[in-house]
Chains A and B, each alone.
Chain A
């Protein structure tokens, strides 16, 4: 094992990446490691989808704790919450809301693709399913952005 690692390191980890990319199932594809998420050279749709899922996933975990922190303002009573609402309805924050919706749609729909293919419910049509779901997500994102910026109080 250690010999193999040394060999891989010597060849810049290319062997390891190629082995992981040809492995069965979605989990095995993680093997290249975080540095490979941003390496888009000569990579296919599968790699892009995997990296997108990782990056949006980390963003959503960060948001989970940010959301809990923000909701803690409610414990401070009405004045505390209303003060937050004034900030939260500025164009910058509404833009961040749209970014959140993008993260949710990209991660959720891409995750659905992984779950459907990985569980064998649908045939392995990764690329077609990815583009179909992302197109659906883009439509929902546009609708959400319009709603966020135009709903009236």
Chain B
């Protein structure tokens, strides 16, 4: 009797479907809360057309420590969710294992750059308040 083939993802270190799905779901549910806070705080309590803040309003808003932490968490969670989603879409193209690994590594790098740039943006703006 032939031994069952080992899942190649175990050896390549690629996350299994269930692990990826769980992370996507957890970050997605967290985003429901974070997006709601972000949208309401940014656009629905501001009495201006389009709910957009003036330059000074943005600086004051982002310099608030609670908002600063919430926006930072939002940045990290939304980036993780976006990269996992992109990964799923790209995997739909029926990539080989080698290309899947390349895509995964590329998306990790893109995610790190995105979060780093976001932190620079938030940090610079908060320091100007």
By a beta-carbon cutoff of 8 Å, the part of chain A in contact with chain B is 25-28, 30-31, 33-34, 54, 57-58, 60-61, 64-65, 68, 71-72, 74-75, 77-78, 81-82, 85, 88-89, 93-94, 97, 101, 104, 108, 111-112, 114-115, 118-119, 147-149, 151-153
Residue in B20, B43, B82 whose beta carbon sits within 8 Å of that of A64 in the complex = B82
Task: Other than A112-B28, A153-B48, A153-B49, give 14 A-B pairs with Cβ distance below 8 A.
Answer: A58-B85, A64-B79, A72-B121, A81-B54, A81-B55, A82-B55, A88-B50, A88-B52, A89-B52, A94-B50, A114-B25, A115-B25, A151-B47, A151-B51
Which partner residue on chain B sits nearest A109 by CB separation? B32
Nearest-neighbour CB distance to chain B for A122, whole angstroms, equals 13
Residues of chain B in range 67-113 having any CB-CB distance to chain A below 8 Å: 78-79, 82, 85-86, 88-89, 91-94
With A34-B89, A72-B121, A147-B44 as contacts: A77 and B52 at CB distance below 8 Å: no
Separation of A104 and B49 alpha carbons in the complex (Å): 20
Do A147 and B121 touch across chains, with their CB atoms under 8 A apart?
Answer: no
Residue of chain B at shortest CB distance from A94:
B50
A63 to B21: give the CA distance in the assembly, Å. 23
Q: Residue of B at shortest CB range from A80?
A: B55
B26-46 interface (Cβ within 8 A of A): 28-29, 31-32, 35, 39, 43-44, 46
16 contacts between A and B (CB under 8 A): A28-B17, A33-B92, A33-B93, A34-B92, A61-B86, A64-B114, A81-B54, A81-B58, A94-B49, A108-B32, A112-B28, A112-B29, A115-B28, A115-B29, A149-B49, A153-B49
Tell me whether A78 and B55 are in contact (CB under 8 A): yes
What is the bound-complex CA distance between A75 and B71, given in angstroms?
Answer: 17
What is the bound-complex CA distance between A26 and B71, given in angstroms?
30
| Inter-chain contacts of A71 with B (CB < 8 A) | 121
Cα-based distance from A97 to B44 in the complex (angstroms): 12
For residue A147, which residues in chain B have a CB less than 8 angstroms away from its CB? 44, 51
Q: Given contacts A26-B21, A81-B58, are A61 and B47 in contact (CB under 8 A)?
A: no
CA of A19 to CA of B86, assembled, Å: 23
Find chain B residues with CB under 8 A from A68 CB. Answer: 114, 117-118, 121
Contact A60 B48 (CB under 8 A): no
| C-alpha gap A149/B43 in the complex (Å) | 12
CB-CB under 8 A from B88, the residues of chain A are 27, 30
Across the interface, do B50 and A93 meet the contact criterion of CB distance under 8 Å?
yes
Q: A33-B93, A75-B121, A112-B29 are in contact. Are A27 and B21 (CB under 8 A)?
A: yes
Query: Which residue of chain A has the shortest Cβ distance to B110 in the bound complex?
Result: A65
